[in-house]
Amino acid sequence: MNISHFSLLNSHFKVMDDIIQQLLNSEHILIASHIAPDGDAVGSMIAMSLCCRALNKKTTLYNESRIPAVYRFLSGAECIVSKLEDSEYDTAVILDCGDFQRIGNWKAERSIRESEEKDELQTRFATVSWVLKHRISGFEVRVSNIINIDHHATNTRFGDFHIIDTDACATAEIVYRLIRRLGIPMDKALGSAIYTGIFTDTGSFRFSNTNRAAFEICEKMVSAGVDPYTVAKHLYGTYSLGRIKLLNLALDSIELSHNGRLSMMTVTSEMFDETGTQSEDTDGLINYARWIKDVKVAALIQECRNGEPLHRKNKNHNCPSQFHVSLRSDGSVDVAAVAAAFGGGGHHTAAGFSIEISLAELKAELFNLANSG
């Protein structure tokens, strides 16, 4: 181990110990992740909650989106709420979000509050905290400290404490390391959450982010009682009829750029209406576009509103609407850079962004990028 790597490792442990101390000093902890949550987001949230509860801390799990049915088998998924009732927390742990805006319709502002008590010199002292305000409802939440745990290279390093490890296969890997450093024993519930986070974010160990730790950690989770077959059956074994119908419509929507480098799949509000499906049913659809021969980048365009499907009767796709675009690359194209150009972010091979634009204009922009590249 060289000196620079040793220094980096020590720095990493120092930050983790600071985060552990913050958690130990907290009584009520808010745990949140990004809208349209994937397996890593849900698994990391549940694992972090179980960890905090093992420390006898009160936790609130929040996600603005509905939790996909395939992840509801995880113990603790039923505790995730889409609306907050409490207005004050000691700590907020934000997981798997490259930017604070990814948690949904919230904005975070620094707040300085004077204490009602006086110290020995009879002078007031000020404490710095955060005020989180929901853009639609106006509901405000006060948080003393924000912990940012993520593995995206485009992370903006928001909050007070950060563990951003771009070498981690998933945010669940980082959460596992935190749990191990705390000395909390692993059980089946905790192991299932960690296993699901890593298993899904590595594409069942098929994606380029699959590292040695992915296999080592998942082996430990199996030793803790996790059944890989049961997890895989929940994640991939059962689909609703509506999801199959949505897949059929999505496959029919696939278009290729002139040079064949980009495949584009579109899911509109009308498709959701016709099949009786929701945003969660698009999980994994982009892979069909990515598997086409000679395709370098796949894009899934999903019509959205505030991170959820927009069910509207206006079928004029020349009118502006809200879209979320997921991007996947075979490794030859840095889709994180593409997403960043549209205000999004992610990884070299998997990224995304949200945009308000007409569908026709959005397609034209993406095709122009592909054909000029």
291 shares its domain with 153: no
- Whether pLDDT at 47 is above 60: yes
Q: Are 31 and 61 in contact (CB under 8 A)?
A: yes
- Per the prediction, the chain carries an average pLDDT of 89
CATH number at residue 332: 3.10.310.30
- Predicted confidence band at 371 (pLDDT cuts at 50, 70, 90)? confident
- Predicted confidence band at 284 (pLDDT cuts at 50, 70, 90)? confident
- Whether pLDDT at 117 is above 60: no
Structural domain for 103, as ranges: 3-233
- pLDDT tens by residue, 4-25: 444 555 567 789 999 999 999 9
Residues whose CB falls within 8 Å of the CB of residue 15, separated by 6 or more in sequence, listed in order: 161, 162, 163
pLDDT at 124: 44
Least confident of 87-101, 220-234, 306-320: 306-320
* 206, containing H or E segment: none
Of 200, 233, 266, the one marking the end of a domain is: 233
Structural domain total, the chain: 2
- Whether pLDDT at 3 is above 80: no
Q: Can you tell me the mean pLDDT for 38-50?
A: 97
Of 233, 262, 294, the one marking the end of a domain is: 233
What percentage of residues in the chain have a pLDDT greater than 90?
Answer: 73
- Measured CA distances, 199 to 131, 133, 170, 219 (Å): 35, 34, 9, 11
CATH number at residue 31: 3.90.1640.10
47 shares its domain with 187: yes
Of 233, 258, 289, the one marking the end of a domain is: 233
